[in-house]
Structure 1
Amino acid sequence: MTTDVRRVVADAVEEELLRAGRSSQWLSARVGITGTELRQKLAGEVDFTVTDLAEIAQALGIAVAQLTPRPH
């Protein structure tokens, strides 16, 4: 289950980065996550924290809910 949630969140972050025309390097610099840590999170190897998601959403000008799984 955790892996599924990780993948959904990572995919949402990547999708919003693409939509904004921004790179993962831009995002890591903007939110203070190292490039290595961000790559691990985007690969679904490590969870994004709530703080990460809030900072990512703010950097991209979107709602945090756009980065989280939708209820079924």
Structure 2
Amino acid sequence: YGDGGVIPDEVTDHLRAVYRANSVRFDWQRDDVLIVDNMLTAHAREPFTGPRRIAVAMAEPSDAPSDEGS
């Protein structure tokens, strides 16, 4: 709640259940790419073992008109 108070167990249980119910999980394939919009998506990851390569690009939101339909 942001005030340092205790969050009741039933509230955290409910939030966890909602996250689980709305999760999307898939098995990665070689050369898969994931793009996440941090403004629209809550995200996390499950434990992982083995080699991997991580590349990150970040941008600021923009109100600029798009070129779609041009």
Q: TM-score, normalised by structure 2?
A: 0.27
Q: TM-score, normalised by structure 1?
A: 0.27
Bigger RCO of structures 1 and 2 (CA < 8 A, at least 6 apart):
1
Q: Which has the higher helix share?
A: 1
